[in-house]
Structure 1
């Protein structure tokens, strides 16, 4: 009886681990409106401060772009997360980070608003998405 119980616990444990290992990551697309007048200051802050602090909270940035149209300039980046709960916890930590709060306060006082509209999209790959 004990052996059966031990085998059952092992199989359940293995099944949960296998399920987590096979889970597909989720992606987060962030789009920030930035301004030509202080675009360099935004990039400096993101590169030199935000990305460093994000590493403390296990942000995985896949790519970063800048997009320009006739009416606006946008900063776009793609994050990868193992799951939505991890994403939410990381963002909570980052937003509450004392260093980040102070950097934002200092750069805003020095350069004005560095961001306009912010768009945030959580995305899941379809089963037929190319790798």
Structure 2
């Protein structure tokens, strides 16, 4: 007879918090040789244009992982559909396309690999929001 210690016997149904926001974790591989140009573009242009489309950036970090530099940032959304619609609008923005072209010509490729994760709060998460 096996015994499970410390694990709840409750059903896995309902582990997603209902009515809560969702978060999106984005991780960009950036290059040490031109990371200043990357940060300037993200800070001065991407964030401004994202705000135009209702992006709510909770926080941004620079990180080192596997000896590579990364920009990590967290977004907050009301729902998945809104997230998808806003990303489509941002990626189709002509000003953003022009800025990416000009900065790539001046500094080379600014972004390597991109990781994207949608995070849904569990019903046992300590809070329903990470920001005000």
**Normalization by structure 2: what TM-score?**
0.81
Rg larger for: 1
- Equivalent of 1:118 in 103, 114, 119: 114
Unmatched runs of 5 consecutive residues or more in structure 1: 1-21
Structure 1 or 2: larger helix share? Answer: 1
Counterpart in the other structure of 2:67 = 71
Work out the CA distance in 2 between the residues paired with 1:61 and 1:71.
26
2:55 aligns with one of 56, 59, 67? 59
Give the TM-score taking structure 1 as reference length. Answer: 0.82
Q: Describe how 1:3-82 pairs up with structure 2 within 5 A.
A: 23-69=19-65, 71-82=67-78
RMSD (CA atoms): 1.0
Higher RCO (CA < 8 A, seq sep 6+): 2
Local SS of the residue matching 1:43: helix
**Runs of 5+ consecutive residues of structure 2 not aligned to the other structure:** 1-17, 128-132
